[in-house]
Amino acid sequence: MSAFVPNRAVAAEVPFLQKPFSRAELQLALSSARS
């Protein structure tokens, strides 16, 4: 899965998440989002 923050001036994008992932992995992915 791919998480993406679309409406920021510089889009923030997290790396692909391999299913199945835990809540912690999702939070980690969101926190390492790159612009």
Partner 1 sequence: MDEYVQHHHPLPEESQRCEALQAALDLIDQGITLVDKDLKLVVWNRCFLRLFDFPPEMAYSGAPFESFIRYNALRGEYGPGDPQQQTAERVAMARSFAEYELERTRPNGTVLSVRGMAVPGRGLITFYSDVTEARHREALIREQNALLEARVAERTAELLQTNAHLRQALEHNEAIALSLVRSEGRMRLITDSIPALLAYFGHDRHYHYVNRGYRDWFGIDPSQPESIKARAFLGEDTYSRIRPYVMQAIRGNAVTFEYEVQTVHRGLRVARTSLIPETSPQGEVVGCFELTFDVTDERLAHDRMAQAQKMEALGLLTGGLAHDFNNILAVVQGNLTALAEIPALSPYLNDYLKPALDAALRGSHLIRGLLSFARKHPLSSRIEDLNLCLARTATLLRGVLPDSLSFVTEPWPQPLLVRLDPNQLQDALLNLALNARDATGGKGRITIRCSMVTLGPEAAAKLDLAAGQYARISVEDDGCGMDQLTMDRVFEPFFSTKALGQGSGMGMAMVYGFVQQSAGAIELRSQVEQGTTVSIFFPLHGRATLPADPVDAPPLVPEIPSEGLRGLALLVEDDPGLRQLLRRELLDIGFSVIEAENGAEALDLIDHTQGIELLLSDVVMPGSIDGLKVVAHARARARSRASC
Binding-site ranges for partner 1 (CB under 8 A): 1-13, 15-16, 18-23, 26-27, 30-35
CB atoms within 10 A of CB 1: 10
CA separation for the pair 7, 21 (Å, rounded): 25
Least distance to partner 1, CB of residue 29, Å: 9
Least distance to partner 1, CB of residue 28, Å: 10
Least distance to partner 1, CB of residue 13, Å: 8
Q: Which two tokens stand for residue 23?
A: 């809540």
